[in-house]
Amino acid sequence: MQVKVIDHPLIQHKLSLLRDKNTGSKDFRELLEEIAMLMAYELTRNLPLEETEIETPVARTRCKVLTGKKLGVVPILRAGLGMVNGVLRLIPAAKVGHVGVYRDPETLKPVEYYCKLPTDVSERDFIVIDPMLATGGSSVATIDMLKRKGAKNIKLMCLVAAPEGVHLVNEQHPDVEIYTASVDERLNDHGYIVPGLGDAGDRIFGTK
């Protein structure tokens, strides 16, 4: 199983608060955004740097800045929205695409119902955000679609993953690195991650 579990104590502490069923939507949103920001720090660890020359108040010096590599962030609706702002706080120049996928109740196959992406997909590296990687169907469908449009370098940011979802993404897209705060035990019969945190979309938006 290829997956990077980000076990930073701040992320693990905040995730435990998110899991608690007594945590309300306001706190849930704030914690999720904070975790997303901390995870983005890890996902962007290998962004390329170049040297430039600047003048400090004391002397001229050479120092490093980002090369300006173009990035795109693609939250999968609806729970992915809860992590976008945290990522954008660290990489404000990233463009944001949105993808909506649902599972056809008869074929059980993922069906794309919404897709709005930056125009220059083939020039960008992408972070796909799927907070609850359950069966993995939505993530795989989104990555398929980004690749069809020319994306070559894609990372997947999750909050909690089920082994089933990790296996599917590994199998279908071995080049895509998965980052998560936890790989939980399993999926239950209703497709929920156990122990998980319930329906992330409902908890973010206070629905249900």
- Chain residues binding ligand URA by CB under 6 A are 79, 132, 134, 191-193, 196, 199-201
36 Rama class: left (phi>0) / alpha (psi -120 to 50) / beta = alpha
**Catalytic one of 19, 29, 103, 125:** 103
Please check if 59 is assigned to a binding site.
Answer: no
Does 141 show up as a binding residue in the annotation? no
Q: Examine the residue annotation and report whether 199 is marked as an active-site residue of this protein.
A: yes
Q: Could you tell me which residues are beta bridge partners of residue 160?
A: 132, 182
Taking the complex as a whole, the smallest distance from the CB of residue 182 to ligand URA amounts, in Å, to 12
Residue 180 labeled ligand binder:
no
Nearer to ligand URA by Cβ, of 192 and 205: the residue is: 192
User: Letter for the amino acid at 105?
Assistant: P
Give Cα separations from 112 to 12, 139, 145, 155 (angstroms).
Answer: 32, 11, 9, 20
| 119 assigned binding-site residue | no
Residue 120 annotated to the active site: no
Distances in whole angstroms, Cα of residue 126 to Cα of each of 8, 18, 198 = 23, 26, 27
Residues linked to residue 106 through DSSP beta bridges, in sequence order: none
Q: Which is nearer to ligand URA, 14 or 124 (CB)?
A: 14
The reply to whether 7 belongs to the active site is no
103 counts as catalytic = yes
In whole angstroms, the minimum distance from the beta carbon of 24 to ligand URA comes to: 17
Among 107, 119, 148, 175, the one annotated catalytic = 107
Catalytic residue numbers read 103, 107, 199, 202
Binding-site annotation: residue ranges: 78, 103, 130-138, 193, 198-200
